[in-house]
């Protein structure tokens, strides 16, 4: 859920897609009753994982950024849940869009919840989708539900439990898309970045299902290379999406990994990434093999958390 760099990415769905209504007849673009308004100003409150802050977005009158201990986690626009404001969320939005034909309901397991931005996106763009979210910080979930409430009719169930524990209990072959976006503070926890964890995700996927992961890394990209090798040890099809500057180790940032048992939509994903308002590159096949050369998959016995962001990266 940690977001690095610019955060004015815009929509991930196409402008030609209508904004659907939920099952109650309320348009998802309408502000939810009881939602926090900018007139109320910022909010800071301790939660289980640290200090949560909600900061109003100066460009969008019903949008809020969630920070945890100063690290940006999520951006939610209550007037437009299809708006994805962070780079990494937009790239995950592309994968959501490509998970099935436009508008078709899917079953999604979100490991890591934050402000539920991606769950809102799925609900807005794919009505009647069934979604489960694992978010260990129950106080954060209570804060988000109170201040940034979900629309009526959205089938989103949030479980206050460790993501791996939820994944272990997920029935085999029942999920179209697993999205792993797990951070303890500003780092990916070791127990959610292993081959054993990835195998559990693969087991949960229905035929044709896909797995997507958000991580952060920089400099030599040792963690990212190991994570790519970890997914390649479990899935025959893997790709990586990131800013070229991050891939060259020039800056610390987000990297998105996607995996499946069947071929990924690399060409269409590449077109969508190329059309974004910021630089992005898709690595697949030989390019990804070169990226992971010499890297060893992480296991429960050997895994370490992702590196902490450099000082001042969120300023």
Chain segment 213-227, per-residue pLDDT in tens: 999 999 999 999 999
Is residue 34 very low, low, confident or very high in pLDDT (cuts 50, 70, 90)?
A: confident
Q: Encode burial over 15-40: b for 16+ CB neighbours within 10 A, e otherwise.
A: eeeeebbbeeeeebbeebeebbeeee
Q: Rounded to whole angstroms, what are the CA distances from 122 to 98, 106, 237, 282, 283?
A: 12, 8, 23, 23, 25
Is residue 23 very low, low, confident or very high in pLDDT (cuts 50, 70, 90)?
A: very low
Among candidate residues 180, 177, 143, 141, the one with its CA nearest the CA of residue 163: 180
* % of the chain surpassing 90 pLDDT: 86
Q: What is the pLDDT of residue 223?
A: 98
**pLDDT, mean of residues 204-221:** 98
Token reading at 63: 């949008």
Is residue 24 very low, low, confident or very high in pLDDT (cuts 50, 70, 90)?
A: very low
CA dist 211 and 62 (Å) reads 31
Architecture of domain 38-292: 3-Layer(aba) Sandwich (3.40)
**pLDDT, mean of residues 70-79:** 95
Indicate the average pLDDT of the chain: 91
Q: Encode burial over 81-120: b for 16+ CB neighbours within 10 A, e otherwise.
A: bbbbbbbbbbbbbbbbbbbbeeeebbbbbbbbbbbbbbbb
CA dihedral 258, 259, 262, 264 (to 10 degrees): 20
- Per the DSSP assignment, residues forming a β-bridge with 132 are 109, 157
Is residue 3 very low, low, confident or very high in pLDDT (cuts 50, 70, 90)?
A: confident
Say if residues 39 and 152 touch (Cβ distance below 8 Å): no
CA dist 218 and 301 (Å) reads 24
Task: For residue range 120-160, list pLDDT tens digits in order.
Answer: 999 999 999 999 999 999 999 999 999 999 999 999 999 99
Token reading at 315: 């300023």
Is residue 271 very low, low, confident or very high in pLDDT (cuts 50, 70, 90)?
A: very high
**pLDDT, mean of residues 38-55:** 96
Q: What is the pLDDT of residue 175?
A: 98
Q: Which residue has the higher pLDDT, 314 or 305?
A: 305
Helices (H), the chain: 87-97, 117-125, 138-147, 163-169, 195-204, 222-234, 244-247, 266-275, 286-292
**pLDDT, mean of residues 1-27:** 44
Instruction: Inform me whether the pLDDT recorded for 15 exceeds 80.
Output: no
Is residue 2 very low, low, confident or very high in pLDDT (cuts 50, 70, 90)?
A: confident
Domain boundaries along the sequence of the chain: 38-292
**pLDDT, mean of residues 29-34:** 55
Q: What is the pLDDT of residue 115?
A: 97
Q: What is the pLDDT of residue 5?
A: 54
3-state DSSP of 62-109: CEEEEEECCEEEEEEECCCCCECCCHHHHHHHHHHHCCCCCCCCCEEE
**pLDDT, mean of residues 74-79:** 96
Task: For residue range 222-268, list pLDDT tens digits in order.
Answer: 999 999 999 999 999 999 999 999 999 999 999 999 999 999 999 99
Is residue 313 very low, low, confident or very high in pLDDT (cuts 50, 70, 90)?
A: confident
Is residue 312 very low, low, confident or very high in pLDDT (cuts 50, 70, 90)?
A: confident
Is residue 315 very low, low, confident or very high in pLDDT (cuts 50, 70, 90)?
A: low
Find the catalytic residue in 77, 181, 217, 243.
Answer: 181
- Known catalytic membership, residue 48: no
* % of the chain surpassing 70 pLDDT: 90
């Amino acid at each position: 859920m940690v977001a690095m760099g610019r955060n004015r990415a815009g929509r991930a769905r196409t402008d030609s897609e209508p904004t659907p209504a939920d099952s109650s007849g309320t348009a998802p673009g309408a502000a939810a009753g009881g939602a926090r308004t900018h007139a109320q100003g910022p909010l800071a409150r301790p939660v289980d994982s640290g200090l949560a802050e909600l900061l109003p977005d100066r460009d969008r009158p019903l949008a809020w950024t969630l920070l945890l201990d100063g690290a940006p986690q999520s951006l939610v626009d209550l007037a437009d849940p299809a708006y994805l404001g962070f780079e990494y969320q937009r790239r995950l939005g592309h994968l959501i869009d490509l998970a099935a034909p436009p508008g078709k309901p899917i079953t999604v397991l979100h490991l890591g919840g934050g402000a539920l931005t991606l769950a809102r996106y799925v609900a807005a763009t794919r009505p009647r989708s069934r979604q489960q979210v694992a978010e260990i910080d129950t106080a954060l979930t209570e804060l988000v539900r109170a201040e940034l409430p979900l629309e009526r009719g959205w089938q989103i169930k949030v479980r206050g439990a460790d993501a791996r524990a939820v994944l272990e209990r997920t029935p085999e072959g029942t999920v179209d898309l697993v999205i792993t976006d797990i951070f303890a503070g500003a780092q990916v926890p070791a127990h959610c970045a292993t081959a054993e964890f990835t195998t559990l995700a693969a087991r949960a996927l229905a035929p044709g299902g896909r797995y997507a992961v958000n991580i952060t890394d920089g400099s030599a990209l040792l963690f990212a290379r190991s994570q790519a090798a970890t997914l390649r040890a479990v899935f025959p099809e893997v790709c990586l999406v990131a800013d070229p500057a991050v891939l060259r180790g020039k800056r610390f940032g987000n990297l998105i990994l996607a995996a499946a048992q069947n071929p990924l939509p690399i060409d269409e994903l590449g077109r969508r990434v190329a059309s974004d308002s910021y630089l992005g590159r898709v690595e697949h096949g030989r390019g990804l093999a070169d990226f992971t050369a010499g890297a060893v998959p992480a296991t429960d016995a050997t895994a370490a958390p992702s590196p902490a962001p450099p000082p001042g990266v969120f300023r």
